Amino acid sequence: MSPFLLRQLWSVIDTAHSSHILSLDDQGLVNWVMEQLCHQSPLDNGELNQVNCYIQSKVTLIRDMAQNR
């Protein structure tokens, strides 16, 4: 995954309302972040797969960050 895409991903998470992140189940959170990224720039199938796997591996961290805001 490119550094640019990583920055976009974490920017989406940083600017999201904590309550929204915490209200979603794991798959809903992954889907929501991916939708937000796709609105910013189109992703090819390889990038979609990479982003999906990456977000799934970071769900706990994303929730921890949201709880601590």
Binned at pLDDT 50, 70 and 90, residue 5 comes out as very high
DSSP 2-40: -HHHHHHHHHHHHHS-HHHHHHS-HHHHHHHHHHHHHHH
The pLDDT tens digits of the residues spanning 39-49 come to: 998 999 999 99
Query: Is residue 1 scored above 90 in pLDDT?
Result: no
pLDDT at 69: 87
The pLDDT tens digits of the residues spanning 6-41 come to: 999 999 999 999 999 999 999 999 999 999 999 998
